[in-house]
Chain A
């Protein structure tokens, strides 16, 4: 995924105060971090704020990165995951009071999940339909527990291998696999239940 030596050099240049090297890091990883944050937090506003927080934390702790201990992307994902967990803990109370019909994404035009699915057969355009299905899945993903959600996000959306995920989550690989399986199954059950309600 990344050339360890190139990234290590980039990090050294950053630590030395090279603004261009830092800009290159931001350009390379902002998309990935934003997507993780968006899928985990659920809204683009939160994702934007969290992405900025991740990079601020990276900028401050860049000296602690040791390329011999792991890939830079794993280190970045670990920082992202830790911040997301902190964010989840802060907003836990709000999430507990959410209902299934509450809109979880600002891309959903504030429509409840059931209404989105009701409308999905209406638009004739396949791209619009595909986008709406994606939003429905995104809304269902937000209903998973954070442990399952982060596991499936890292595996199925970020294509990380089990070992890297285990490093990021600091759990054994077997636990990672178990969480991924349960996360996928739970997501499928949520979507099936939702579709059954619509039908």
Chain B
């Protein structure tokens, strides 16, 4: 028997289907050939090792995953055992868990003594401010937040504001009329208005490059005085003594 023939019969021999003279020749070659003898032993050992391997269990959700990825149907029946094993969590617990995850760091920070004192003082100041302003929590409870009530409050407030400005305008017109009547009735003081000095202009916007009015004040006053002196309401220039003119200038 040649080695290639031995190799072809090796599987049959290991499977136990080799019989008769073929089996005898096979065994003779295995005993005499230095290559094929060890090959038979190794192949038999390898087969025995492999036969010792047991089947592995597929993952529990494999079938469900396959069905979901092929038909797109998430088979509830197949997933039911896996879900039953998990504890039931209510939506309230889930909300609390998510909120606690968000507020927990803030709460830890707030609980520090320095921050707690600051927040306490802020709350005290706020409550005192609201009390002084006349805001009471009981009043807030009586506020109606219905859309009709909010609309009604809005129109009332608007009418009150319009009425206030209308009244203010009437008062101002009345005051202006009275001031005009008073001005016409009262005798005019000679040279009083004209003698008043002009208010200094705002120098910020003065781009004329002209000398300041203040520098010419004495000259203008002198000119005004001359004009006032010739006004028809006052006494004539001849009647006024020189001293009285000097006195006038002193009062200005």
Contacts and interface: CB of A to CB of B under 8 A. Distances in A.
Contacts, number: 109
B70 A56 contact: yes
Interface in B13-50: 39, 41-47, 49-50
Interface residues of A, number: 43
B62 A184 contact: no
Contact of A55 (B11, B43, B70): B70
A198 to B, nearest CB: 16
A186 B10 contact: no
A185 B43 contact: yes
A31 to B, nearest CB: 6
Nearest to A174: B8
**Of listed A180, A181, A186, residue having the most chain B CB within 10 A:** A181
B133 interface: no
Contacts of B62: 30, 34, 48, 51-52
B55 A35 contact: yes
Contacts of A55: 66, 69-70
Given A56-B69, A184-B46, A177 B39 contact: no
A31 B45 CA distance: 27
B75 interface: yes
Interface stretch (A5-13, A71-79, A88-96, A187-195): A187-195
Contacts of B58: 30-31, 34-35, 48, 51
Interface string B195-219: 0000000000000000000000000
Contacts of B59: 44, 48
Given A31-B58, A38-B56, A180-B11, A185 B67 contact: no
B contact residues, range: 20 to 34
B50 A157 contact: yes
A178 interface: yes
A181 B45 CA distance: 11
A89 to B, nearest CB: 23
State the main secondary structure of chain B at its contact with A: helix
B26 to A, nearest CB: 13
A19 B49 contact: no
Interface stretch (A108-116, A117-125, A131-139): A131-139
B53 A138 contact: yes
Nearest to B68: A52
A38 B53 CA distance: 12
A51 B11 contact: no
A185 B39 contact: yes
27 contacts: A22-B71, A26-B63, A35-B55, A44-B59, A48-B59, A52-B66, A55-B66, A130-B52, A133-B52, A134-B53, A141-B50, A156-B50, A157-B50, A177-B8, A177-B10, A178-B8, A181-B10, A184-B44, A184-B46, A185-B42, A185-B43, A186-B46, A187-B46, A188-B42, A188-B43, A189-B42, A192-B45
